[in-house]
Structure 1
Amino acid sequence: MLSGIKAWLRHPKLMFARLRYAQISTKITCFYAAVLLLVLILTSTLTGLGVFFSFYHQAEVELEISMNHVLDVMEQGRSLDMDFGRDDLVLPGVVLRITDSRGKIVYENDSHYPPLRRIEEHTEKNPPFWANKNMQVVQLRNATLYHARMDVEYRGQVYNMHFFRTITAEKHFLETLQKILFLMTILGFFLALLAGFFVSRRILQPIREMTATARKIEVENMDKRIVVPPVRDELSELAQTFNHMLDRLEGGFEQQKRFVSDASHELRTPVTVILGYSDLLSRWGRADEAVLDEGISSIRSEAENMQQLIEKLLFLARADQNRQVLHKENIELSELLEDIMRKMQLVTKNHSVELLQNDDGMMYGDLVTVRQMFRIFLDNSTKYTPQGGRITVKSERVENEDGLFMQVALADNGIGIDKKDQQKVFERFYRVDTSRTKAQGVSGTGLGLSIASWIAQQHDIEIRLESELGKGTTIYLQIPLVS
């Protein structure tokens, strides 16, 4: 530490440049020590000056009181002889010496004081700024005197009155006090460095733990978390926020991995089929028209499936990046549902499709995506309902404490969804019991309900699903209406 201070004293600019890029704990320590050092220096300086002023002022007061008392005695007419000071003319510690115009001593109460010539020789030319300008400071070898002079005309003669006050003990005390304050300042500075070092390290320990945890985290290993300290402060809040961010990142990575895996799996099947039929056509398709027709039909079917899958993937990708544009406007739900159901009745020959109730209500949303959401739910009902099954839609206008809504119920009497799968059907690529759906002749990508769920979220539509195996599924949509 001492070597560092010496280096700083020799190259202050270099040290400041290094401090700029130092660790936060080092910056906190230096700042804390610098502030405390300034406070100590300011306190020591003010304390020293206050004591100096106090001692010198006390001496000045005693001299002034003594001078006034001597003048009062002279006004009483007491003769200037050795009997002049028969009572206490001056305060204890004050020495009075009276001389005539020729410099002869007329009276003095202490004969051990140096002669006036020596006192004049050792008078400070530049006394301390806290000393009285009307008094002089005399610095002898072993003593320091405060000297006040006053000329008085008494009984027709002029006398010089010299008042002395020894401040040697006070000066020694002040010098000792200065040394003590200086040592205390240096000691306080080093103690501040040590305390700041330990305190800053302790305070910043959670940040170092965050750094260590962040270094250990990789895409394949995101289960590390920071231990949140029990104290509710900014660092604990930062640790909680960091852990929450890691939870979201882990969930995002897991979703991305699953998404890539599922997308690869979904694309692998049609590509394999296309490659197989293209190989078949290259071998026997030129000579056999039946093989040629089958191959072309299968390749076209698989290409259409791939096109639909890619369009759904692109839709979800734009949604994840907030680039899916929605053109919202007022939509009359009764007209929209009537149009969707009419077209569905035209193309659906194996199911009974009915619009049981269709109340009027205006919603604010994107017409294309809202139509797409209804079609996804209805297409799912068609897929998972056996031939001869019944699909119904009921739209009812309701009002509660939260506002005005349209309650739309889309029901079927299809194969239903197991309770353990009902919370997962809106996840991407998730499909219920594959063996059971294949037995019904159903195939799909598992993306439709994810798209419908995203569209509902963008329009503040609440989705509720009720289903029972073998009895069918009902999806309830609570759509906010424009009042």
Structure 2
Amino acid sequence: MPRRITFRIALLYSAVFSCVLIFLNASVLYTLKYYLIYQSMKQVTVQSEVIASKLDISAKDMSSIPKDMVFSGIADENIYVKIFDSKGNIVYQSKNLEEVYIPYAINLGVPVKIDEFDKDLVYLNTKFKKDNSIFYIQVVKDMKNEYAFLKLLFILMFFADGAGILISFVTGYLVTKRALKPVDYMIKEVKEIDAKRLSKRLKVYGKEDELVRLAKTFNDMLDRLEESFARQNRFVSDASHELRTPISIIKGYIDMLDRWGKEDKEILEEGIKAIKKQTLEMENLVEKLLFLARGDDRSIKLEKDTFDLKEMAEEVIAEIKLIYEDKDILLKGESVNIKADKRLIKELLRILVDNAAKYTLKDGRIEIEIGNSDRAYIKVRDNGIGIPEEELPHIFERFYRIDKARSKETGGTGLGLSIAKWIVEEHGGEIHVRSKVGEGSEFTVLFPIDNDSK
């Protein structure tokens, strides 16, 4: 098969056209052939009846019958007549057909088509009684003219089909080439698109046909690629920045220890403590980056099991209270069973409660509510500093920080809520947030209920 789709479509179009044309012509020839055979059978039947009627009204003695008068009505020169007596002797023969012998006493009254003696013949044998004597009339039709016509028609159709197939191929090629001309434009434009020119788009012309929809789909894909590429660049830039800070701090303390820490124990302890802290923060950041990377390439497999949300929340609260002893953390609601990956849901709740604790002032209050309506839900409320309304649409973006709420004093990597959102969506749930500056925030997570364990 040729590589160009234009040729392939033209060939396919020509092949389909050829099959249809050949089928129609074969049907015409086949139908015409049997129509001509039917007409020949009708001719020999009529001719046999005419001869029998003339013989019946002629003289009584067969030998005295005027043959020219009786058989002069045979209009077709390819119709032959023989008359046999009961002993098989030929009483009359309109033409010399000695080379063609057809039994006269079989298939009486039924026209028959035979292909013998290198001829295509139709014959009819009839029984005739005159003066108590039995005679047999045999009328034979040679179909050479009809078959010559069929052969001529076949030759004409053959050349007509060849011309039609050639015309269909050329026409199909030209029409297809014109129809696919926009594809050449698309190829040319797409070759000019690279990472530095993702903003380039295909121009869309004409009606809403398949090629227009293809161009729009490609433009939509470029929109997504450009957005994804921009996110990736921001992600790499932010990750580099986040890693640069602890590395710079560690490097500074190492230089300080190298100069004075060998002899000054206080400086040594301060440097070791700072390096440990920055190492832990960098380790935490790397773990979160790896988690998001595995989430993006779908390599994290959920291990779902049925468990009680409230019991899991009690475990998380016990852990968080060890870190934030000055926060008032309350749990309320009812036991609700869900089928999910317990490890990931536990991480989700840790992120939400840790986030609330960081941005709640000393002796602040954090409430965790577990319940279900049509879906299971987790609500985490705090009376902290809140989030400005214009920042709410962006808080789940990776490395997104709000200056007033996420200063270096609170720590964090800006990835927690991104991870939380990913966990929720992987479980088929939803996460929503309401917040007001100075009054606090409320995060609501909705999950499908495990009906089998309800």
Note the 1:239-388 alignment, pairs <5 A. Answer: 245-349=221-325, 351-355=326-330, 357-386=332-361, 388=362
- Which residue identity is paired with 2:166? F
- Which residue identity is paired with 2:7? T
8 Å CA contact 2:310–2:370 kept in 1: the answer is no
8 Å CA contact 1:228–1:239 kept in 2: the answer is no
The reply on whether 1:420 has 2:361 as its aligned counterpart is: no
Query: Counterparts of 2:269 and 2:311 in 1: how far apart (Å)?
Result: 43
8 Å CA contact 1:352–1:390 kept in 2: the answer is yes
Query: Counterparts of 2:150 and 2:310 in 1: how far apart (Å)?
Result: 98
Shift in Å at residue 266 of structure 1? 0.9
Query: Counterparts of 2:115 and 2:314 in 1: how far apart (Å)?
Result: 110
Q: How many correspondences in the alignment? A: 435
In the superposition, the TM-score normalised over structure 1's length comes to 0.71
Aligned to 2:73: 90
Query: Counterparts of 1:420 and 1:75 in 2: how far apart (Å)?
Result: 117
Aligned to 2:446: 478
- Which residue identity is paired with 1:324? I
Query: Counterparts of 1:89 and 1:225 in 2: how far apart (Å)?
Result: 88
Of the candidates 377, 390, 399, which is equivalent to residue 429 of structure 1?
Answer: 399
Aligned to 1:4: none
Q: 1:375 to 1:73 in 2, by over 3 A?
A: closer
> What's the CA shift string for 1:191-249, capped at 9, x where partnerless?
2212332344456567666655554443333345564975576x777666655554444
The reply on whether 1:467 has 2:429 as its aligned counterpart is: no
SS at match of 2:442: strand
Shift in Å at residue 153 of structure 1? 11
Shift in Å at residue 37 of structure 1? 2.4
SS at match of 1:41: helix
Query: Counterparts of 2:142 and 2:337 in 1: how far apart (Å)?
Result: 102
Root-mean-square deviation (CA, aligned residues, Å) is 4.7
8 Å CA contact 2:54–2:70 kept in 1: the answer is no
Of the candidates 436, 440, 456, which is equivalent to residue 424 of structure 2?
Answer: 456
Query: Counterparts of 2:92 and 2:337 in 1: how far apart (Å)?
Result: 120
More moved, 187-196 vs 40-49: 40-49
Shift in Å at residue 290 of structure 1? 4.3
Of the candidates 159, 180, 188, which is equivalent to residue 183 of structure 1?
Answer: 159
Shift in Å at residue 138 of structure 1? 9.3
8 Å CA contact 1:418–1:467 kept in 2: the answer is yes
The reply on whether 1:392 has 2:366 as its aligned counterpart is: yes
Aligned to 1:9: none
Unpaired segments ≥5 residues, structure 1: 1-18, 109-114, 124-130, 140-144
- Which residue identity is paired with 1:274? I
Query: Counterparts of 2:329 and 2:30 in 1: how far apart (Å)?
Result: 100
- Which residue identity is paired with 2:284? Q
More moved, 299-308 vs 23-32: 23-32
Q: 1:264 to 1:49 in 2, by over 3 A?
A: same
- Which residue identity is paired with 2:332? Q
The reply on whether 1:40 has 2:15 as its aligned counterpart is: no
Query: Counterparts of 1:206 and 1:390 in 2: how far apart (Å)?
Result: 64
Of the candidates 53, 58, 64, which is equivalent to residue 39 of structure 2?
Answer: 58
Query: Counterparts of 1:151 and 1:304 in 2: how far apart (Å)?
Result: 119
Unpaired segments ≥5 residues, structure 2: 85-90, 101-111
Query: Counterparts of 1:221 and 1:186 in 2: how far apart (Å)?
Result: 51
Shift in Å at residue 270 of structure 1? 1.4
- Which residue identity is paired with 1:409? V
> What's the CA shift string for 1:393-441, capped at 9, x where partnerless?
1415342xx34x3442322222x222221111111111113x7743x83
More moved, 273-282 vs 327-336: 327-336
Query: Counterparts of 1:161 and 1:339 in 2: how far apart (Å)?
Result: 114
> What's the CA shift string for 1:36-64, capped at 9, x where partnerless?
32433343344345445544653554344
- Which residue identity is paired with 1:253? F
